[in-house]
Structures are given as structure tokens and as C-alpha cells.
Structure 1
Amino acid sequence: MIMSADALASARTGDEEAFRQLTDPYRAELQLHCYRMLGSLADAEDMLQETLLAAWRHLAGFEGRASVRAWLYRIATNRCLNALRDKKRRIPPTPVPPFSPPEPTSHAEAVWLQPYPDDLLNAIPDAGPGPETRYQSQEAVRLAFVAALQLLPPRQTATLLLRDVLGFSAAEVAQMLATTETAVKGTLQRARATLDQRRGDEVALVVPDSVQERDLTRRFAEAFTTDDIAGIVAMLTDDTWLTMPPAPHQYRGADAIAGFLRASAAWRSGRRFRLLPVRANTQPAFGCYLPQAGESIAYPAGLIVLTLGADRIHAITRFLDDDLFARFGLAPAI
């Protein structure tokens, strides 16, 4: 987007409307960038506000040698790096399950992860992949990608996002991170290698909002809300993962997941989950509700995001953070 010289001049005199004219076109994509960096929707919202406040305060020092967009990304990236270095960053407490779950297959390395509403993604114009990008825009917001980013050193995360997702040149990234192009190239190589190793073999995911996606999502919802564990297992791949951020325990494979679901059903003693459909990270999702014993009103009980292939479920991620419901426009009770 071409910068308006008149808007910049007016903003420098304290004109807030002119400043919004300069920065509003980038708000949604800047928040998504902060989310990719931090893995947290709540932190991304905070970092966006910090970025805009810093831009407002330092507008007089903006010389116009880079675009407004690149300047804002420089501020946002460095604010996120500061947040990742901050030992006071609020990490959610590990939830204590209300029942004794079976032994997990493994424990997660990173539990600091939240889903991202598709409604916010829809506000970002799709300019298509640039010549410097390596990842498609849809792939670069999926849960598996964002989760893998959280396991990289922060500067590797920043470099990979700026180069391979956003398409900034090595020279631009070096300027943003106050380093050299040679250092950027080395950091990027290490980030790519680590990310490729951690993500493992990629699966072909179902096309969003396709007939296949709608059918598999409907069948999962029916089985999940009726405690049809056999029906759920029939939809899983041999290596499907069930994870529950911020809880660290993970279950892999049909047998392990079925064992967890049976323990959950026994604890609920006939109470059934209710689901409301939403979308997160371009994937089908549900707000999950559960009534108290003897009550007809159901209350939030986690947000479920499904990773789907053509005819199977590859991952079930249930976020145990009921504060997410308001951000997804979900009711506090049904």
C-alpha cells in the first residue's frame, strides 16, 4: 500500500486520524504475525497495542526509507522478541483433570498455545505468495505450524516468519533485526532444518469447507456428543494425536485416545457434551459445553480444533481455556 505523504505529515503533528489512516491497513496482519511469534491470541492482542503505541511515540523518527508496513513489522517483531525474553510472561497454570486419566503417551515440550479465530483471518487481504515466501498463507496459520514455531529459538522464529512467510528480503530482515544479511541467512537455514525435522512428514489435509470436511466434521460431532467412542476411533488414523493445551499430556493412536475418552465418559456419569461449530486456524472447530449434574444449562468445557485429512482425523486439539469462548463469539452458557 502506498504511503500518503500528507497523512504522514499530519500524523507527525499529532493527528490521530491520520495515524490510523497509515496503520489501520496493517492491524490484522500485524496481530497474526504476533500470534505466530508467541502462540497466544491474548499476547498477540497485547503486542499489537504495544506496537501501535510505540509507532505513535516514535513517528517523528520514521525517515521513510522503508515502507510503513516494514517499519511496523520491525517494531512488532522486536516487541515480541522482548516478550519472549521476559521471565514475567504469564504462563497458564497446568490444569488438574477432574478424574484420573490413563497414562499419556508423552508430555508436550511446549504448552503455550491458543487457537486463532478464522473471523480475524478473514480480515487480512490475501495478496498471494510473494517471490521470497516458502509457505502458503493457509499452511502458515495451521495449528501444527504455529505449534512447531514455539519450539524454535525466538530469533529463528522471527527470521523464518519474516523471510519464508511474509517474504521480506534478507536485507530488510537484517535491518529489522539489527544484524547482517549473512547472519540472517545462517539463522534461516537453522530454523528451516529444525522446523522440517520437528514437523515430520506432512499429511494432505482436507480442503476447507469441502464436502469431505463437512461430512467428517458432522460425523465427529455426532459421535462425540453421544459418547460413541467406537465411532470416533473409526475416524482416526493410526497415529492421531489428542492434545489438550495447556495440559502437557498427549495421547497418540486409537487405543490411547479411546482409553482417555472412556475415562472421561465414566467421570461424566451420563452427562453429554454439546458442541457449537466455529473455525480456528482455517480448521473446523467446536465450542464444547458440559452441563452440571442435574442441570439443563451447559457451560464451557474447552474448545476443540480438528486436523482432518480426506477421510480421517489426524489430530484433535482440545484447548482447556474457557476464556477463549468470548473471542470466538461463543455464548457463556447454552
Structure 2
Amino acid sequence: MIKYKCRPAIHTKLVCEYCNSIDFHLPVEFAHFKYFNDTEWVGINIITKLLNYIENNIEDPYFFLNLAKYFVKRVTEFTKIDLSDDVDIAQKLIDFTMFYSQVSDLNWVTIDAGDYIGLVAKRNPIERASKYDDLFVYLSVMQILNFHKEVNGNIIIELPFECGFYGYNVAILENVKFNCQNLSIFAKKTPGKQYDIRPLCIETITSLDRIHAAAKSMIPAELSVDTLAIALGMSTRSLQREVKSMGLCVKDIIKEVKANRLKLVLKKNQDNIKVTAYECGFKSLAIFSRHFSNNVGCCPSEYVSRINDK
């Protein structure tokens, strides 16, 4: 059983997009994420690594605050939740949690709390990942529930840790309670309305999906059987046995992932081989060309010629 946790690529992707828009250059390990589809699965901790790097290397103390303006537009398009006035805030909160429970490994539960519907995101003792997860959930819900217009007790937001834990990003957080152990969001019910609170533990991500997510979360230059096993938190032999039980071969999976990534990045770069080699983590064009040929079946220039001739 593969336990590697995943989430939609949109969170990592939109941060990369925003960094590109402000000319903040990210390390090569994050370069290829901007080419992912929003709904593709990647490792759940990739966004933590990315945001931690930014926080430690950017001079703008209001980066996250400015990112929020970009974030809310993209996340609304992604979730496709009905934000019309015909849907009350409690139902929107249920729809939000139901959507994310089906596309990500999130430790969430929805509860009926008397006059309120509650989303409770369980948190472990203080860890780096929680800071960014709490901020993303807050920003998402702020947009979905139109939080600025609902500050009169219709929405209550509780964060697990004291305000200092969130650093300068605390400037984003309005009308919240701190140091409450879990991240909890409560939306007031409409009197007399019945709500359908369904179980959130819906397994939609298979073990093979998780293997692909781990493989795609690594830059192609570093992807191998051994590094994939390490990313998945298992031995190479255990990974090989697990994949063999599916009737597949780890090397074939890696070859497929590499081939698709290399071709996609090359296409997105308008056939610029040099830029593609860099963004895929290769230190020289010769090494890139060799990997491209081994996985795609021809050298990069030949591939470009074939595509352009069609």
C-alpha cells in the first residue's frame, strides 16, 4: 500500500506563476511545476518546500499578502463551487470540503455544530507545513464564503497556533481566533434548512496515482528507481514488489513520466532545447539529449523537426 500523500498541483503551480509575474526566480527543482495541469496530483509537501524557500529568500515582507489577490481568483475557478447568493454559506462550506476531500489527502471532517456547520482540519503539534496549509485554507474559505461581508458572527474561524507562529503573514488573517489546537471554520446555518453532511473519507487516489504523483514531483534529471523509492518512503525492493503486483514495472513508469515531462516542457518552451534542459534539471545539453533519446526514442532536435513537420 503506497502511503505517499498528494494534493492538486494548482497550489504549487499558482505560486510559481505568481513568482514568474514578479520576476522572483525559483530554484530549478520548482521550474517545471508551472507546466502542470491544475488537477494533476503532486506531493502534498511540495508547496511547503516552495513557500519556505520564498519566505527565507524574498525581501518583500508582504509577499503572501500580495499572492492572496492572485490566489483567490485562481482557486475560485478551480473549485467551481456555486458562489451565487442563492447558496447559503453553510452549504458553500460543505461543498468546499467535499470537493477537496475527493482530490487531496487532507485530514478534514465536517460536523454539525448546532446552529453552525463546521469544518475541522486536524493539526499535529507545530510543524512548518501547517503554517502554509492554514493560510491557504483561510484564503480559500475567505473567498468561497465571501468572508469580508460575513464578519457579524455568521462565520467563525479558529487557527491552531498562536499568532506569532504565522510570522508576518499574520497580516492576512482577519477576525480569527488563535491558539485553538485545530483549524476550524464555522458557517451559520439557515434556519429550517436541512444539510447533507456526507463522509469525507472518499478514496479516489490509487496507489499507482500516488507513484505517478511522486515521480512527477521530481525534476526529470533526478528521477530514478532509487530516488522514487526514497520519495515514497519505502525501499527500492518494496517499490518494485508493489508495482509488480499491479502487473507493471517501475522502470517503465519512470520512462513514461520522463518522456511525457520532457516533451511537455519542450513544447511549452516553444521547442527551445536549451531552456528545456535547464528547467528539467540537466547540467548540460549532452546529458539532456541522452536522457531525451533514451526515454522518447529520438534526440530533441529530431523530435522538434517531427512535430513541426506535422
State the TM-score, normalizing by the size of structure 2: 0.28
Is the strand fraction higher in 1 or 2?
A: 1
